[in-house]
Structure 1
Amino acid sequence: MPTVTKVTQQRRAGRYNIYLDDEYAFAVDEKVLITYNLFKGTELDETEIETIKAAEFSQKAYTQALVYATGQMRTSKQISRKLKERGYETSLIKEVVKRLNDDHVIDDEAYAQTYVDQAKSAGKLGPRGVQFKLQQAGIDQFIIEDALVAYELDDQIAALTTRVASLLEKNARYSKFMAEQKTQQKLLQQGFDLNLIKQAIQDYRLNETTDETLEWDNLDRDASIAANRYADYSGWEFKQKVKSTLYRKGYDLNLVDKWLRQRD
């Protein structure tokens, strides 16, 4: 029966070379070494050797998953995807995920709760945006719903107050109407409630210091560009093309008519 005659430590911490009958046989993780008592003098039959190799393969998958989960929270699904990418079988992946859960390395409920708390603090995602991100991470829907209870209405309103101000200022080069549309679209994409978005925009407009010249300056710039584009046209056709272009950009047609009269 093959006998362990020598055990040497590799340069990699926690890895050991096993020699049977003075010939290199295989390498194992320290956990496998201890579990199967792979020290000098231990006798192994072929079945035991195959069991050890299988345990080593499992431990390798576990170690890789552990490294992936270290330093950043991961979900069960993310671990499963990573191991699948590395070619591991489904049965082994389930075993590794179970071990990580049992060892409290991963915890989908804690992941969801932490993600919701961080999203609230950052204020860049609304509840539906958070829900979508958690679904992408593979979190169970019931866990998501439980975690989202902590994302209260006041949290969303507070986030929108900041986001609306930032986005409207960013979109100030557009017409007032278009700036609001772009702001609304962006916030919808980020998962905020439509009615709350509209209310936040309305509140911002009520409290902002009105710049009487901004809308006109934006119109003047865009109208000049449109006028140059349609310079080959004249009369009614020219005016209609300019007006159509500016209407699509959200400008009030009375203001557009004023610009055209001044141009004439």
Structure 2
Amino acid sequence: MERNGRQEESIITMVELQKKNKHRFNIYLNEEFAFAVHEDIMIKHHLFKGTSIDSARIIDILQEEEQHSAYLASLRYLGRGPRSEKEVRRKLKEKGYDGESADKAVDKLKQQQYIDDHAFAKQWADHRVHFGRKGRNFVRQELASKGLGKDEISQAMQGIDEEAEYEGALTLGSKKWRSVSGTELDKKRKTMAYLLRRGYVQGVVNRVIRQVSEETLEDSTFEL
């Protein structure tokens, strides 16, 4: 409210700690509840009892509060596991934060290296190959779905340990081969299709098929 061209100021008459959130405070102006802020915003803007505050400053504080809230929500999301920038932005949008608040939060997180798409892509690819036993084609599709760019995906693919990828494919291929019935041709066809669905490239699949076929032949020869 303005009076004679000047912003009318209100007085903070009470600052109340919220019962369900020990980091948020209710701010009362002229004996009435006005808004709530995180303790970081309260301290930064000196929102203490007796402080005078005008409507323009309140607007600025509430905008900063929204941006700070988006930042904290992003940290909680990242705390559950590494995320790409696109995943963080998607989560913030789902929670109702506006574009400016999301931009501010993401920029701060990138400066602090909590968001690093290059590092995330490499970490994700390594984990999926070593522990998820997925081939590079599958990993590439996953990274694309997470919003990673061509450069990040390309670097992640180049960093994949080819021997680890093969060992994972061999473990899966051997197990599949033993579980499949039928002729050797049936076993080859079904095992090959299975590995291709797991995202392994044709070269890796062919190498696995040769290996399990040779092992089967050696076992048959030994039995004779």
Q: TM-score range by the shorter chain?
A: 0.7 to 0.9
How far off its partner does 1:126 sit? 1.3
After superposition, what is the alpha-carbon deviation per residue over 1:91-140, rounded to whole angstroms, capped at 9, x for unaligned?
Answer: 32222211222233222222112112212322611112111111111112
What secondary structure sits across from 1:39 in the alignment?
A: coil
What is the CA–CA distance in structure 2 between the aligned matches of 1:62 and 1:153, rounded to whole Å? 38
User: Residues 62-115 of structure 1: CA distance to partner in whole angstroms, max 9, x if unpaired?
Assistant: 222221111211111001111122232223222221122223322222211211
**Where has structure 1 moved over 4 Å in runs of 4 or more?**
none
* Greater C-alpha Rg: 1
Distance in 1 of aligned mates of 2:16 and 2:97: 28
Q: Which residue pairs with 1:17 in the alignment?
A: 26
Q: How high is the sequence identity, in percent, across the aligned residues?
A: 28
Q: Paired residue for 1:195?
A: 203
Aligned residues: 210
Residue-by-residue CA offset, 1:156-202 (whole Å, 9 max, x unaligned) = 322222121011123x2344323322221121122212132122112
Question: What's 1:45 paired with?
Answer: 54
Residue aligned with 2:52, SS: coil
Contact 2:177/2:212, CA 8 A, preserved across alignment: no
More strand per residue: 2
Partner of 1:207: 215
1:195 maps to amino acid = G
Give 1:180's aligned residue: 188
C-alpha distance in 2, partners of 1:111/1:94?
19
- Tell me, yes or no, if structure 1 residue 3 matches structure 2 residue 45: no
Aligned to 1:161: 170
Q: Residues 195, 103 of structure 1: CA spacing in aligned structure 2 closer, same or farther, 3 A cutoff?
A: closer
Aligned residues of 1:76 and 1:138 also touching (Cα < 8 A): yes
Q: Does 1:84 align with 2:84?
A: no
Point out where structure 2 has 5 or more consecutive residues left out of the alignment: 1-8
Letter in 2 for 1:122: F
Partner of 2:135: 126
- The answer to whether the 8 Å contact 1:123/1:163 transfers is no
Query: Paired residue for 1:219?
Result: none
